Structure formats: C-alpha cells, structure tokens
Amino acid sequence: MVYAADEQRYEKLPYRRVSDSGLILPAVSFGLWRNLGDQMPLENSKKVILKAFDSGIFSFDNASNYGPSNGTAEETFGQVFRQDLKPYRDELVITTKAGYHMWPGPLGEFSGKKTLVAALDLSLQRMGLDYVDIFYAHRWDPNTRLEETARALDLIVKQGKALYVGVSNYNAEQTAAIAKIFETLGTPFIGNQVSYNMLNRTAESDGLLEVLDQNHAGLVAYGPLAEGLLTSKYLNDIPDDYPIHRTNAVLFENGKVDLIDKLNALNEIAQQRGQSLSQMALAWLLKDRRVASVVIGASNVAHLIDNLKFSDNLTFSGDELTTIESILSK
C-alpha cells in the first residue's frame, strides 16, 4: 500500500522560526537516538516515523553513531525514507551529526576535516539522501584547531551536502568562538543542539542562549525529559542503577530523595494544568523563543501520541512560572 501523508498534518503542531533565519522547525523534532535502530523491528520503526510526520513533525534528527549500533538509526530512517517519505523530501528537515566514535581507528571520531567529510558521506549513503538540512559537529574537539572544524563545515555547505551547519554539546564560550569564524566565512550557522530540560539548565546559566541569539542561531534541546526522570515513572523511587546521561549526572548530587521530592512537586503543578509531567516539561522548554525545537524520541506510536499532547497547553501563568522556579532552585 502506498503511503499518503495526513492532509491536516500542518494543523496539528506549532512551528518556530530559528532566530531570524529562513528555517522553520516544528516545536518538537523526532530523534532516532536509541529508539529505532537495529534492535527494533523495521515495521515498528516505520509506524512511529510515519505517525510522527502525520502528526506535524517534519524534522528528523539522527547521528552517525545512533543505533544502538553505529549507523543503524540512519539505515532505519533511510529505509522508511526510500519507501514512503521520498515524495515529501522538500517538506522534511533531516539532520545528522558526527564526532562521537563511528568507525575503528583514530580518524573515526572528533571533528577533523577528513572525519567530518567522510562521516557525512556515509550518512548520506545510509539515508539515501543527496543532502541534509543541518549537519552538526557532534562534540567539542580539544585537539583539532577550531578553524579546521569550521572550514570543514563550511566546505560541506559549499559542496551542497548540507544547507545549514551547527554544533552540538558546545558550551557558550566554544559556541561564540566558532560562530565568529562562521561569520567571517559566511557560513550558514543555524544552532547548537544541547541537553536542556527543567532539571538541567546549563544552557541558561552559562549564557549559551544569549550567545546563540546574538549570532542569529537557535538552541535545539535534546534530553527534554532527562532520560525519563521527568515522567510519572519515578515519583516513588529511582533505581540505584538508573542509566542517566552524562549531561544529567549532576541531578543526583543532593541524593535521590531530594530529586524525587522535586519531581512530585512538579507533577502537582502539571496535574493542575491538566497535563502529565512529561507534557509540562516539553511545554516549559518552549516558553523561550530562543529554543527552536525540542527533540523527542518514542519507541511506539502510543508513547509518541501521549507526548504530543504537550501542545494542548503551552501557556504558563506568572504564578505557575514562579512556583516552578522555586521548586527547581531548591
């Protein structure tokens, strides 16, 4: 059966312009980090990806090392793209990243010119694409001269393999430094994809949001639910072996009891708003116009649909924001 996208798909979600650029993103993008790689049946992955598009999500985020096995998330997306989404290519914003371990040897990671160019070529092959809309340098490279990384990304745009470039996991100082080089080169720098959620607000405290805004770029937030902590699953207990992402490890510095108390206090507010904790967490991130999009993941359609209900209530009262701030600052 030939796939036909829902004709009302663009009436279901809000959309956001990335700073003052010409790029517009859905409020949430769909990320394929660990959800739909080689450990998930293709038919299930296909259902989730197509449901996301039918629901108004036209931005799909990937990386060379996503899978769990390297490259398999891109391969999965590529199969769905070739079979079903190719007629809609001009509507899609497809993004990928390179920099974490991708293949054996010293050139299989970080942000040297050879590594970035080779990684994107492999990504394009896996996904069946001529170009991506955004290509990110996935992490800060302490050993490669920043100008080499910037020029490699600029070259990729000039070659027509990416429309925009960005960085991921750069702090404010690092972002400002590479943005200055991009400005000199005339490179279309679009943003920084970083971990940002109600519990992890480094993007605010180190000035990253301001730096991006000053450079006509936006923040794309990953980990918006702090690996599931900002859901109803952990209101009573958090397992000692909870697999927290390195960017959120600081959340446990005051112990589990303190964190669980915060989660329950936040959950109370969410219930008063007619939302689940996860839905409120997504809405809270989008209160700031500098957040261009929030990357969500889902391993099944029901999970996806539940998260998308965040858009039913995107408005926060002054009292709600004050109460949330008092909870988070404890």
In a domain, 7, yes or no: no
Domain, as residue range, for 187: 12-227+284-314
**What is d(CA 13, CA 55) in angstroms, rounded to the nearest whole number?**
7
**What is d(CA 258, CA 250) in angstroms, rounded to the nearest whole number?**
13
Q: Give CA separation, 147 vs 112, 152, 208, in Å.
A: 10, 8, 20
Per-residue pLDDT tens digits for 265-311: 999 999 999 999 999 999 999 999 999 999 999 989 999 999 999 99
pLDDT of amino acid 250: 78
In a domain, 259, yes or no: no
pLDDT of amino acid 262: 95
Number of domains in the chain: 1
Angle between helices 318-328 and 256-272 (to 10 degrees): 170
Q: Is 49 exposed, middle or buried (0-12, 13-18, 19+ CB in 10 A)?
A: buried
In a domain, 272, yes or no: no
The answer to whether 129 touches 160, Cβ cutoff 8 Å, is no
In a domain, 75, yes or no: yes
In a domain, 90, yes or no: yes
pLDDT of amino acid 38: 66
pLDDT of amino acid 254: 75
In a domain, 288, yes or no: yes
The one-letter code for the residue type at 142 is P
In a domain, 274, yes or no: no
In a domain, 121, yes or no: yes
pLDDT tens over the chain, length 330 residues: 899 999 999 999 999 999 999 999 999 999 998 766 666 788 999 999 999 999 999 999 999 999 888 899 999 999 999 999 999 999 999 999 999 999 999 999 999 999 999 999 999 999 999 999 999 999 999 999 999 999 999 999 999 999 999 999 999 999 999 999 999 999 999 999 999 999 999 999 999 999 999 999 999 999 999 989 999 999 999 888 777 777 777 777 777 889 999 999 999 999 999 999 999 999 999 999 999 999 999 989 999 999 999 999 999 999 999 999 999 998
CATH number where 71 lies: 3.20.20.100
**Residue listed under structure tokens 């038919």:** 43
Structure tokens at 301: 């359609």
pLDDT of amino acid 244: 74
